Amino acid sequence: MLMACALAGCSHSTIATAPPANTSPAATSPQGAVKLFEWAMGHANVDVIAGMLPDDFVIIGAGVDSAGGPSPTDTLTVSGRSWFLGALTSMIKGVPGLYEPAQVSLRLDQNFVPLPDSRPGRDPRFHKQIRTSFDLRVLDTNVGFEASGNVLLFATRGDSVTIPPELFARGVKPDSTTWWLDRLEDETLAGPSPPLPAKNISLLQLLEYYYKRLTP
């Protein structure tokens, strides 16, 4: 049959197939970086998230009072890369010998619209920002949480980021074809402080709860 086809001059065609479901998005654009973050959360892959956060990454949210509500002084809580990764690890991977991993589900608005970075001195060729709806649901052993609202994510092109020393040691170099996430502003809704079962707690409250598990 093959010989007959060759003699007849049959043309060859390639059938495109969909990528495997577990294939991660490529962070080749600001939108791609946000999609990769969502994918990594859904696949409990803290290493992927660590690989897209520069050394000067920060997460920022409004301060809360002792009852868990927004602070009347509108103070801001600012935490860095190691704090953020520690909180995520505690939540997604658990704490060995103390806490089991939680079940995590994250949904973002898929209509990502990148805009020029609104921070002073940022060149729009290298810096973009994306605001997206954010719905994070966490089911722990005895309690469930939900953080919902909006988050504002700032993306920076890979040839304009501060590469963390451990990634640099592994050969990661500046790369204009990739985008990193260097800042997350939490605009989710504050509610009762954990560990009470609660909806509409803020993302920062939730992360603080899991970070505290690292230092009992």
Task: Kindly report, residue by residue over 31-63, the tens digit of the pLDDT.
Answer: 999 999 999 999 999 999 999 999 999 999 865
The pLDDT value given to residue 209? 92
Residue 62 contacts residue 70 (beta carbons within 8 Å):
yes
Residue 86 domain flag: yes
Q: Which residues contact 184 (CB under 8 A, 6 or more apart)?
A: 57, 58, 59, 60, 84, 151, 152, 153, 154
Residue 92 contacts residue 129 (beta carbons within 8 Å):
no
How many domains is the chain built from? 1
C-beta atoms surrounding 192 within 10 Å: 15
Tokens of 5: 């086809």
Residue 62 contacts residue 47 (beta carbons within 8 Å):
no
The pLDDT value given to residue 7? 42
The pLDDT value given to residue 211? 95
DSSP state of 200: S
pLDDT surpasses 60 at 143: yes
Confidence of residue 96 (pLDDT cuts 50, 70, 90): very high
Residue 21 domain flag: no
Longest dimension (CA), the chain: 82
Q: Which residues contact 90 (CB under 8 A, 6 or more apart)?
A: 99, 210, 211, 213, 214
Tokens of 22: 């577990």
Nearest one of 52, 108, 39 to 85, comparing CA atoms: 52
Residue located via tokens 């600012």? 78
Residues 177, 8: Cα–Cα separation, whole Å: 45
Strand 127-139 to strand 103-108: parallel, antiparallel, or no bridges (unpaired)?
Answer: antiparallel
62-91 pLDDT, tens digit each: 654 444 444 444 456 889 999 999 999 999
Residue 18 domain flag: no
Of all residues in the chain, the percent with pLDDT exceeding 90 is 69
Residue 3 domain flag: no
Residue 201 domain flag: yes
The model carries a pTM of 0.83
Domain range for 154 is: 26-212
Residue 69 domain flag: yes
Strand 58-62 to strand 179-188: parallel, antiparallel, or no bridges (unpaired)?
Answer: parallel
Residue 96 domain flag: yes
DSSP state of 101: P
The pLDDT value given to residue 2? 41
Residue 117 domain flag: yes
Instruction: Give the CATH number, domain containing residue 173.
Output: 3.10.450.50
